Amino acid sequence: MTITNDIRYVGVNDHAVDLFEGQYVVPNGMSYNSYVILDEKVAVMDTVDQHFGQEWLANIREVLGDKQPDYLVVHHMEPDHSANIDLFLNTYPNATVVSSMKAFVMMQGFFGTDYADRRIVVGEGDTLNLGKHVLTFVTAPMVHWPEVIVSYDTCDKVLFSADGFGKFGALDADEPWDCEARRYYIGIVGKYGAQVQALLKKAATLDIAIICPLHGPILTENLGHYLNKYDIWSSYAVEDEGVVIAYTSVYGHTKAAALLLAEKLEAKGVKVSVHDLARTDMAEAVEDAFRYSKLVLATTTYNGDVFPFMKEYIHHLTERSYKNRTVAFMENGSWAPVAAKVMAKMLEGSKNLTFTENNVKILCALSAESKAQIEALAEELSK
């Protein structure tokens, strides 16, 4: 793939992976992106997952022929991008690796060497001159690992953005960017919104024409759309008005209550997204909680606590700094309901949450009283 006259794509598509990072369902696979900049000096930008080392080297040879690369630039040390550093440096013994100091510490851990005799350490504002292409490095700590750097090519106005602006899905997958990029961002980077905001401020000073991420498509048009999405996501702002109903149910009574609430909200013209937490893709349910303005947590009391899938869900939210939303509770308990109290306790550390005045308590099964509570909650949430 030709990106500009001098920049080529040499990454790979992975359609064998079932769970990315051991937990995220990726029905359309993943891409591991790598690039080559052809100039007086040749730079290869990042490696790929360990399973694709030989395919990646073949892609590089197809671009370079007999020409030898001068540099391997490593933006991020997560193994899906760094696993083939040693393979590359053994294949090209005259190449120099360029990365942050913290990355070289990690290389010692991964490969047993920090390449002290063939490395260039770069930090904020440092440059690498390839000829007409000059790379300027920008530190991006905790986006989403501490060693991360991004680089900007002043010639072609290309931002090599590491994991920023990435998405799930191989490059040959025909799917919209927003949904899988949102699920990727919230799941993997979502905790580090403040750090992403800091990086966006740095990016705002650059004249960017192309964004080359380490996952997903190269972004060449309407860049304002992608930058705006990242600003929304990283500031924990509401992206869309609507209500997410996340529920767990043992014998169907809590499910019936959740579906009744959804029916009443939809009748009032409210956008509703419903997730059975025992059966849904948990990452999709987490994504929706960050996307929409209001969240209803509906669960049974279980062993004096809450049902395990609900506990897991709330942990996913809180560890990603869930905030700036309206939250309601629906609890079910046959003799001693405590689920609402437990859920409220789990959310105590979350900032700027507004809790509804109306909540729902079910004793065993829906009754006239609990149905009235659902009607009152639907009315409050629809305002």
Q: What is the pLDDT along the chain (383 residues), one digit of tens a residue?
A: 899 999 999 999 999 999 999 999 999 999 999 999 999 999 999 999 999 999 999 999 999 999 999 999 999 999 999 999 999 999 999 999 999 999 999 999 999 999 999 999 999 999 999 999 999 999 999 999 999 999 999 999 999 999 999 999 999 998 999 999 999 999 999 999 999 999 999 999 999 999 999 999 999 999 999 999 999 999 999 999 999 999 999 999 999 999 999 999 999 999 999 999 999 999 999 999 999 999 999 999 999 899 999 999 999 999 999 999 999 999 999 888 999 999 999 999 999 999 999 999 999 999 999 999 999 999 999 99
The rounded distance, in Å, linking the Cα atoms of 42 and 73 is 10
* CA 209 – CA 226 distance, rounded (Å): 12
**CATH number for domain 240-381, candidates 3.30.420.80, 3.30.1370.60, 3.40.630.10, 3.40.50.360:** 3.40.50.360
Instruction: Considering the chain, tell me which residue range(s) the CATH 3.60.15.10 domain(s) occupy.
Output: 7-234
pLDDT of residue 60: 98
Q: What is the pLDDT of residue 307?
A: 95
Residue ranges of the chain assigned to CATH 3.40.50.360:
240-381
Separation between Cα atoms, residue 31 and residue 171, nearest integer Å: 6
pTM of the predicted model over 0.75: yes
Domain 7-234 in CATH 3.90.550.10: no
What's the confidence (pLDDT) of residue 134? 98
Q: Which residues contact 305 (CB under 8 A, 6 or more apart)?
A: 311, 338, 339, 342
Kindly tell me the burial class for residue 257, based on how many C-beta atoms sit within 10 Å of its own C-beta (0-12, 13-18, 19 or more).
Answer: buried
What's the pLDDT at 335?
A: 86
Q: In this predicted structure, what is the pLDDT of residue 1?
A: 87
